[in-house]
Amino acid sequence: MALGGSELGLAFIIIGILMLLAELSSPGAFILVPATVLLVLGFVGMVAPDILISWWSPVIVAVVVIPVTYVTMRMYQKLAPPAPPETTVATSLVGMTGVVTTEVSPNNLKGKVRIEHDVWSATSSKAIPAGKKVVVKTSEGVHVTVEEIN
């Protein structure tokens, strides 16, 4: 028994709904685009069954896939815009200011500096007492070289 356009349309709708339910259980929009395409094709198959089993179906798929993909991408860019990394890397500390929490002295890493919300091991070319404001001149690994701000 061959499937007609309306049966194929109904099958597409059912598969599309199942894919949307799968997307709801594991969000990420990976299933959203094919599910939407299947739903649209299913409704086309229900409204115009003969068109779905003709050579027009690939054209309809292309006309649906491109805008749905574009709209989905734009929607997710608005929901979760690109952001800088949440972790601090050493090179991003250069030029930042902080406060000495434990005295910083030359040639050792016993000194501590609070930069934003993190505490870093620090060294400097001269002794800097706790409480002084400093600027990061270089950064390597998990320690920084700082200078006092006058």
Give me the DSSP letters along 22-52: HHHHS-SSTTHHHHHHHHHHHHHHHH-HHHH
Q: Is the pLDDT of residue 79 over 80?
A: no
- Report the CATH architecture of 90-148: Beta Barrel (2.40)
Per domain, the residue ranges of the chain are 5-79, 90-148
- The two three-digit tokens of residue 30, written as one number: 């990976």
Considering the chain, what is the average pLDDT of its residues?
84
Q: Say how far residue 138 (Cα) sits from the centre of its chain.
A: 29
Helix axis angle for 5-25 and 32-47, nearest 10°, is: 160
pLDDT: is 89 or 96 the higher one?
Answer: 96
Q: Is the pLDDT of residue 2 over 70?
A: no
pTM here is 0.47
Q: Is the pLDDT of residue 17 over 90?
A: yes
Each residue's pLDDT tens digit, 125-141: 999 999 999 999 998 88
What does DSSP assign to residue 80?
Answer: S
pLDDT: is 129 or 86 the higher one?
Answer: 129
- Cβ contacts of 104 within 8 Å, gap of 6 or more: 111, 112, 113, 122, 123, 124, 127, 128, 134, 146
